[in-house]
Amino acid sequence: DTEVTQTPKHLVMGMTNKKSLKCEQHMGHRAMYWYKQKAKKPPELMFVYSYEKLSINESVPSRFSPECPNSSLLNLHLHALQPEDSALYLCASSPPLQFEGRGAFFGQGTRLTVV
């Protein structure tokens, strides 16, 4: 019963494909995040959007391209990925910059396999 919805749940893509991951939340949160998580590791921050503007890019390769069309939606465009990019991609949202005593709400994630 997560309030952050991610699609698709699973994705297999070739190294020459272009695909997009989608994330939606209706909690009125103005901060949204993309994380990458490898097995048995903590989530690794990729991007932060605050009020629909990109505020943090953790030196992510350009083959990952985020987009925030409005306050409820967050996309991650994927192009020319490598097999090592296979991971669980998590979207999260929170009150702005997590100042308000509440943590981030995570979606169920997209399990991405690059072949």
Partner 1 sequence: GQQVMQIPQYQHVQEGEDFTTYCNSSTTLSNIQWYKQRPGGHPVFLIQLVKSGEVKKQKRLTFQFGEAKKNSSLHITATQTTDVGTYFCAGRNAGNNRKLIWGLGTSLAVNP
Number of residues that bind partner 1 (CB under 8 A): 24
Instruction: Determine the interface stretch with partner 1 among 17-25, 38-46, 59-67, 78-86 (rule: CB under 8 A).
Output: 38-46
Cα four-point dihedral sign 47, 48, 54, 56: negative
Query: Which one of residues 14, 41, 82, 115 is an interface residue with partner 1 (CB under 8 A)?
Result: 41
Instruction: Determine the interface stretch with partner 1 among 16-24, 41-49, 65-73, 78-86 (rule: CB under 8 A).
Output: 41-49
Q: Which amino acid is at 76?
A: L
CB of 64 to partner 1, least distance (A): 18
**Residue 99 in the binding site for partner 1 (CB under 8 A):** yes
**Residue 40 in the binding site for partner 1 (CB under 8 A):** yes
**Environment class of 84 (CB within 10 Å of its CB; exposed 0-12, middle 13-18, buried 19+):** exposed
49, 70 in Cβ contact below 8 A?
no
CA trace torsion 9, 82, 20, 113 (10° rounding): -10
Three-state secondary-structure class, residue 97? helix
Q: Which spans of this chain sit near partner 1 (rule: CB under 8 A)?
A: 2, 40-45, 48, 55-56, 90, 92, 97-99, 101-109
